[in-house]
Amino acid sequence: MENQDIIMGIIIHGGNARSDAMRAMALAKNAKFSEAEQLMEQVNEELNKAHRIQTDLIQAESRGESTEVSLLMVHAQDHFMNAMTVKDLALEIINLNKKIYQLLGGN
């Protein structure tokens, strides 16, 4: 697989994870906690895919295989790190929405 295709995999999976995490927060805001949690499972799956690609790149580099650091590579890493941050925030926001819902008399 070409380096550009590998990098695009990180961008795609990172972007999918970020989008799913954002949708999960919107679901939690509307007290759809079960759906939000299911979507967060998809977030984990997407992040795991991106992480596997990243790990393969790191292992290849540790074996002495050079990886070109391009603007696209930096962009991919930004997507991945941003998605991980949004995931962490989404988990907190979902939990906060659950507590608010319970305090307001929800089940």
Query: Catalytic residue positions?
Result: 75
Q: Smallest Cα–Cα separation from 54: which of 16, 84, 80? A: 80
Give residue 13's region: left, alpha or beta (phi > 0; psi -120 to 50).
Answer: alpha
DSSP 60: H
Tokens of 45: 């799956």
CA atoms within 13 A on the CB side of 92: 6
